[in-house]
Every structure is written in C-alpha cells, then in structure tokens.
Amino acid sequence: MSAGQTIILSGLASRQKAESLVNAAPTGAVLTIKPPTRSNDQNALMWSLLSEISRAKPDGRVLTPDIWKSVFMAACGHQVRFEPTLEGDGVIPIGFRSSRLTKDEMSELIECILEYGARHGVQFHHQEQAA
C-alpha cells in the first residue's frame, strides 16, 4: 500500500476501490471520510466578489482581496490568525485555506460576502450562485 490514497466516491467502481484499499490496509491505518470541498465555480465567484469589495473600499477600508478573504473567514467563524510583518508596520493573515472549506461552508462564506456588500452599497456584477 502506498503512503496515502485519495478517492472521490462518485459511483460503484470508486466505492469498490475504496473497499479494497480498506481491506488491504494494515492494522493501525487511518481512514478519513469528509464531505466534498468547495467547487472551482465557488472559488471563482468568491474571488470575483472579494475583488469587487476591494475595489469598492467600503467604509474607506483599503484591503487586498486576500485580506478581505481573511476578514470574511473570521466573520464566518473560521480560524484566522494575523502576524506582524517583519518590519512591524502591519499584519498579515496566516492559517486560512478556503480550499479546505466544504461546499456548504463556501456557500456560507459567499453569502457573508454578498450580505456585507449589500449593506455597504457594493455593486456586484457576478452574482450567479455556485452550488
């Protein structure tokens, strides 16, 4: 058995492959089953919305889309940590990965961005919802 295997359960064949890997796994092996992560469409929509928020500068906040993402992830309850820059003249976000969000968590994040934008008069041009 190799060091690790990832299988997306999409049908009978993939389930049979997963079963054979479980049956061949040594004692003490670890099995993790988790919901699917966010889709590429959701990711593209998130970055589009974050870019529009960044350009709109709500409340005079001049933040990059990356920083806005950290702010919104924190607002949704996801662990975000900020560390001072090397020169101590600002902070940078670390410890956040939207790629690890489930589809439902990503939908929640997108809804948070849309709600904030609506309250602050941001005109979104790409509001098609990604499932």
pLDDT in tens, the chain (131 residues): 456 787 888 889 889 998 999 999 999 999 888 888 889 999 999 999 999 999 999 999 999 998 899 899 989 988 777 889 999 898 887 777 788 899 999 999 999 999 999 999 999 986 554 44
Helices 103-119 and 40-56 pack at an angle, to 10 degrees, of: 20
Is the whole-model pTM more than 0.85? no
Distance CA 130, CA 119 (A): 21
The architecture (CATH level 2) of 40-119 comes to Orthogonal Bundle (1.10)
What residue ranges of the chain are covered by domains with CATH 1.10.3790.10?
A: 40-119
Whole-Å CA distances, 46 to 9, 62, 96, 110, 112: 26, 18, 14, 6, 10
Q: Which residue has 């929509």 as its token pair?
A: 45
CA angle 126, 130, 131 (to 5 degrees): 165
